[in-house]
Amino acid sequence: MLKIVFLGSGGAIPRPCRELPGVLIEVDRYRILIDPSEGTVRRLESIGVSPLKLTHIMVTHLHADHVNGLPGLLATMLMLNRVTPVTVIGPVGISDFTPTPINSSFRINIIELKPASEITLIESVDNLELRYVTTYHTVQNNSYSVTLRRPIGTFNPDKARELGIPVIYWRRIQMGETVVLPDGRVIEPTMVMSNVGNRSLTVTYTGDTSPGDGVVKLARGSSVLIHDSTYLPNDAKEAESRGHSTCLDAALDAKEAGVKLLILTHMSFRYGYEYYWDFLKCAGGIFPHTLTARDNMIIEI
């Protein structure tokens, strides 16, 4: 199971109905926080998640409303006597926000990502894969995908033995990988598996971006696309000039990418909670499987 918690669904200026942006993704033993805005520690506490449980912190870009909570979050981990490493991922310059505390009890692994026009693998651990592509904003913005790979079908060990496939390859094949054996034979999953299908779960998070090919490529076939929806269509010119998307842009990206669920987020402070349905109706007319994010909303897939 993969769980998504919206810590904040607003834009650069918070309102009582919408906190600054932030999303927590829980999958297997991993806790991935995307965009640690100001007040993140308090919001994690409100949902019962200790900063000590976080394994990854991913920053889309270095605007204040997406990264200003990072130093305080790391300081809180130090005060709570964290001992396990934490991985911080972000664009060029993220290391400036992650100074190593004096007498730190834990290690901070920093992965600084250069701009990438093609989808790029960041990390693959256990059944978890993290990828990014740089999308259009006023500064470098990395859109991220988080993929949980699961067995793609029913594995037949008798067939595997009959074909002389060493046991060390079984898991890789079960997870959908085509392997090349030491004798040169190529083994496709369908050769030893039945009921083969796509069992991966992917969440794509755009950060702040205008619509475009990068988002669509990264989100292709995603279970959930969390898309910048800062503006309603009547403010489309402002959205374009500031490197953001409207709810209509988000719906068109979701439709082209063939995602299963679209969630609109990062709504501008100018829209109070009474505009909730305006965003939903706008996007839902193009892409029916749409939700408008609310603070503390939980999605499980």
| Residues 256 and 248: beta-carbon distance below 8 Å | no
Q: Residue 129 belongs to a domain with what CATH number?
A: 3.60.15.10
According to the model, what pLDDT value does residue 198 have?
64
- Residue 145: Cβ-neighbour burial (10 angstroms; 0-12, 13-18, 19+): buried
Query: Could you tell me what percentage of the chain is helix, strand and coil, using 3-state DSSP and rounding each to the nearest 5?
Result: 30, 30, 40
Same domain, 217 and 290: yes
Residue with tokens 């990014």, as numbered in its chain: 132
Same domain, 70 and 97: yes
- Residue 52: Cβ-neighbour burial (10 angstroms; 0-12, 13-18, 19+): middle
Same domain, 27 and 172: no
Q: Residues with Cβ < 8 Å from 222, sequence gap 6 or more? A: 145, 202, 203, 204, 257, 259, 260
| Residue 196 in this model has a pLDDT that exceeds 80 | no
Of these residues, 35, 65, 249, 253, which one is catalytic? Answer: 65
According to the model, what pLDDT value does residue 101 have?
62
Per DSSP, helices labelled H in the chain are: 40-46, 64-67, 70-79, 157-162, 170-174, 213-219, 236-241, 247-257, 276-284
CA atoms within 13 A on the CB side of 228: 29
What residues make up the domain containing 181?
151-197
Same domain, 158 and 226: no
User: pLDDT tens for residues 244-297?
Assistant: 999 999 999 999 999 999 999 999 999 988 899 999 999 999 999 999 999 999
Give the C-alpha separation, 299 to 261, whole Å: 10
Same domain, 43 and 184: no
Same domain, 214 and 129: yes
pTM: 0.87
* 119-134: average pLDDT: 93
Q: Which helix (H) or strand (E) holds 57?
A: strand 56-58
Decide if 35 is catalytic.
no
Same domain, 165 and 290: no
User: pLDDT tens for residues 78-95?
Assistant: 999 999 999 999 999 999
Q: Total structural domains in the chain?
A: 2
Same domain, 12 and 104: yes
Same domain, 181 and 256: no
Same domain, 175 and 295: no
Same domain, 98 and 176: no
